[in-house]
Amino acid sequence: MSGTSKLSSGSRVAIVGGGIAGAGLAASLLFNGRARGVALDVRVYAGGTEERTAPPALLTPECRSRLAALGCRIPPEWRAHELRGVEVISQGERELLPCAAGGLWVVDGWPRGEGGLDMVRHVLSTAASAQGARFVNRHVERVERQAPAPDAPTAVRNAGPLVVRAQGSGERFHAVALAAGAGPLLGDAFFKGFRPAPSMPAVQARLQGAMTGRDLAPVARLWVAPLPSVDALFLIPGASSVYALAYGAAVTPADLCQVLMMAARDGLLEEGFEVAALETTRLPFGPGRTLVAPGQLAVGPAAFGHPLQVGLSETLASCSRAAVALLDGGLDAPSLERRYVRDGLGELMEDAAAGARSITWLRRAGKRAPAAFVAARAKHSAGGVYGGGVLGLSSPTPLGLLSAARWSGVREVVGSWLRTPMEPVPTLVPEVEPDLYYVVDDDADTREALTLLLESTGARVVSFADELALFCAVARRPPTAILLDVVLHWVDGLRLCEGLKQHPLTRDTRVLVMSGLNRPHVRQRALDAGAEAFLPKPVNPDRLLCQLTGRVPDPLAAPREILRPAVVETFGEDRFAS
């Protein structure tokens, strides 16, 4: 090492995180180093736990250009799935934001192969390996700074060598980069004072049999604030499935499932979809602070990002800036701060802050939110050197959207003070089918017993083992009543009752809630949710028929046997806490 703060030939660089940001930084470091005649030893350590849901990748023209510049061979079949546009939805209002010709590719091999992000990571890793990067299949536990030798050069003496501890081994490096997702691998322990990008809880899922829309060219959808706990829902169609992502400060898997039921009811998803994979994750929600130390920096989602940034252009741009900064001033903290953060990431971090703030204003804008996107797009604001639009589009930019969303939010709030709320009336409300009953219970014995009882009176019964089809069924074929269990596979039955009662198409449907826990607070929650009655399990047949028909049973008749399932379910609130 020379006495300057620059990396020189023979310098060793560790990259923590083997995802797109890690592989992209390795390729960019080696490419830029070779252009300057600097030979580097680059090691890429494995990242965190891989996601089973395998999100797709959205590639803009600028993103594809950056991949090609790093030596990535883009398979021609990646163009087979191209989005026609992104539809923004809020409170019944819709606006389609079209993509430019050849604008937005959806790369996705799930479920038969890798997810789109994994496919992009693979081509980046191949390009980096071809240039000399070594990928280490070990997870990093911590990064330590050791005291340098007294006779070391000034820059090295100020920085000190870095030791990467990974599963029992320790290796010395001149520089270390954290290239992780929104939940950084090392968190606050990367270096003293490290402040990664803030993040927000999210839930993602893969849906089969749920292709969005019937257009020949697919359309992605952004549904703003479908539930109080959900800031937005993304629906991105892939080759053979739909990727769903819901985010919000208090979002849960049950929230996502309920929103998916609402989306199918409103025609945003095809009926009969199945949830093939579901898991929690986190999304970046603004820019980080204190992203550099001598010889250390954070790149990718660990440094900045926001939920409306669905493309990869910004991440790849930060990789290029980080590589140049490390080569020019990697060992000196002030130089690294100036070259990487202030001069390199300035525009990207402004966009991240604006994109995160836009989420709050879009929620406040209500039905004006889709028009805010159109208004911001009409300004034809320049995309900047990073091509920086939201939703993978060239426009609107995050700053332009923030301005339009803020104005729409203010107008909506002020307008709500001056007008009387009027609920839209559906154009066509199907008539209730007499003697049609829905039984929703994940216990087969209970479903069979209730079905036999109701059919003995001449009624028709449709039973649901999976509650995800309930909203669609009630909206299109209203029953006389629904017998709804509390403990279900995906969503709490009490939340389903509330959802049915809040929509004009289903609010008049009679709902009887059943539960194995006959406690006053459960009974009261059921009635507060809009249930007509609460029936403790095992269900008394005479009481059930009396509630449904209003006919009091003959006291001289032989009593019916109480319906006892093989296994009586009990209600536990902790089951839905996760």
Domain co-membership, 340 together with 411: no
Could you tell me the CATH number of the domain that includes residue 487?
A: 3.40.50.2300
pLDDT less than 50: residues of the chain: 1-3, 155-158, 213-216, 383-385, 556-558, 566-578
pTM of the model: 0.89
Domain co-membership, 297 together with 182: yes
Domain co-membership, 441 together with 508: yes
Report residue 324 as tokens.
């140049």
Domain co-membership, 117 together with 229: yes
Q: What pLDDT is recorded for position 421?
A: 62
With respect to residue 423, please indicate whether it lies within any of the assigned structural domains.
Answer: no
Q: What pLDDT is recorded for position 161?
A: 84
With respect to residue 394, please indicate whether it lies within any of the assigned structural domains.
Answer: yes
pLDDT tens digits, residue range 246-273?
Answer: 999 999 999 999 999 999 999 999 888 8
Identify any residues that bridge with 463 across adjacent strands, giving them in sequence order.
439
Domain co-membership, 379 together with 339: no
With respect to residue 323, please indicate whether it lies within any of the assigned structural domains.
Answer: yes
Task: Select from 388, 417, 446 the last residue of a domain.
Answer: 417
Structurally, how many domains does the chain consist of?
Answer: 3
Residue 261 CA: distances (Å) to CA of 201, 207, 226, 233 = 21, 12, 11, 12
Q: What pLDDT is recorded for position 571?
A: 35
With respect to residue 555, please indicate whether it lies within any of the assigned structural domains.
Answer: no
Q: What pLDDT is recorded for position 189?
A: 80
Domain co-membership, 358 together with 333: no
Domain co-membership, 149 together with 170: yes
Segments forming the whole domain that contains residue 441: 436-549
Domain co-membership, 295 together with 188: yes
CA 527, CA 534: separation in Å to the nearest integer?
A: 7
Sequence-distant (6+) residues with CB within 8 A of 564 are 449, 538
Q: Are 206 and 236 in contact (CB under 8 A)?
A: no
Q: Which residues of 126-155 are buried (b: 16+ CB within 10 A; e: fewer)?
A: ebbbebebebbeebbbebebeeeeeebbeb
Task: Select from 306, 329, 349 the last residue of a domain.
Answer: 349
Q: What pLDDT is recorded for position 556?
A: 45
Sequence-distant (6+) residues with CB within 8 A of 3 are 153, 154, 155, 156
Domain co-membership, 208 together with 308: yes
With respect to residue 54, please indicate whether it lies within any of the assigned structural domains.
Answer: yes
Domain co-membership, 91 together with 184: yes
Q: Which residues of 222-259 are buried (b: 16+ CB within 10 A; e: fewer)?
A: bbbbbbebbbbbbbbbbbebbbbbbbbeebbbbbbbbb
